[in-house]
Structure 1
Amino acid sequence: MEQIKKVLLIDDDTVTNMMHQRIINKSGRAQEILVATDGLAALEILEQHISDNETLPELIFLDINMPRMGGFEFLEEFEERGIGANGQKIIVMLSTSLMKSDHDRAQADPNVHCFANKMIGSEEFLGFVEEALLIRPT
């Protein structure tokens, strides 16, 4: 079973991160899981990977509402810094928000693959892995 190299969880909720880590670990489809508790910490992780010439996460789960830097602010910086320039990663925006404006804003961002409700399940995660594998450079 083919694996992706890295998954990045960006969420300030410890329980959500633990549950997603459990699902990802149980699937056996990711070699490494990185966790950031806000957008700023996530940008630091990504920039460190770039600086160290390491593989960037192929799959990113991004919460909307977080302290210091939320999901939409992260996306603005992600774009501005050119981190997603190669387009070889999938960003899934996660939220419990029922606001149509959040859904519309996420769908309008070219870096966002899709909007999903927290918590993702095992089957949903496996679907995202398959999509990430399809866009992986050969």
Structure 2
Amino acid sequence: MAAVSCTLLVDDDDTTNYLNQTLLRRMAISDTVLVAQNGQQALDLLHQHCELPTSPTCPALILLDMKMPRMNGFEFLQAYAQRPERENPSVVIIMLTTSLNPNDVEQMQGLPIAGYLIKPLTRDKVNQVLQEHFGQASPAS
């Protein structure tokens, strides 16, 4: 059984999404991996897959890019926090960024995220998230 029933990748870069999907598939950490190109698509997917928060395709983990067109990671988190509580799954949200800008790091403080990681996503970083937030390592480690 996978460590996480469903993971949602939110990134505007197709190559990054492909590489992250491939990594998660090889690590066998999720039964389902959903992909959104921006925050609005992510909200639409949550609405579609989390009508029942216990649905197996309702994400337990969201890997969220900070900077995207249309709706960035910060705007997604603001919109997510305004959704009715019954529609929000119990989810671990990890912000992904290439930025080491202290202003960006400061802006992440106080957001409803479990943490942030510097891109690129690696096997070690995924295992760190799994151990810290789900109490287990990847089955394919």
Whether TM-score is above 0.5 comes out as yes
Instruction: Using structure 1 for the length normalisation, give the TM-score.
Output: 0.86
Task: Point out where structure 2 has 5 or more consecutive residues left out of the alignment.
Answer: 136-141
Q: Tell me the residue number matched to 2:121.
A: 120
Question: Whole-Å Cα distance in 2 between the matches of residues 120 and 129 of structure 1?
Answer: 13
Shift of 1:113: 0.7
Instruction: Using structure 2 for the length normalisation, give the TM-score.
Output: 0.84
Count of residues paired in the alignment: 133
Going from structure 1 to structure 2, the CA distance change for 1:92 and 1:84 (only over 3 Å counts) comes to: farther
Q: Does 1:75 align with 2:74?
A: no
Task: Point out where structure 1 has 5 or more consecutive residues left out of the alignment.
Answer: none
Question: Whole-Å Cα distance in 2 between the matches of residues 29 and 115 of structure 1?
Answer: 19
- One-letter amino acid matched to 1:129: L
Question: Identity over the aligned pairs, expressed in percent?
Answer: 33
**Over 3 Å off, 4+ runs:** 82-87
8 A contact 2:38–2:69 mirrored in 1: yes
* RMSD, aligned CA: 2.1
Kindly report which structure 2 residues correspond to 1:80-119, keeping only aligned pairs within 5 A, or say none: 80-82=82-84, 88-109=90-111, 111-119=112-120
Q: Tell me the residue number matched to 1:49.
A: 49
Going from structure 1 to structure 2, the CA distance change for 1:72 and 1:83 (only over 3 Å counts) comes to: farther
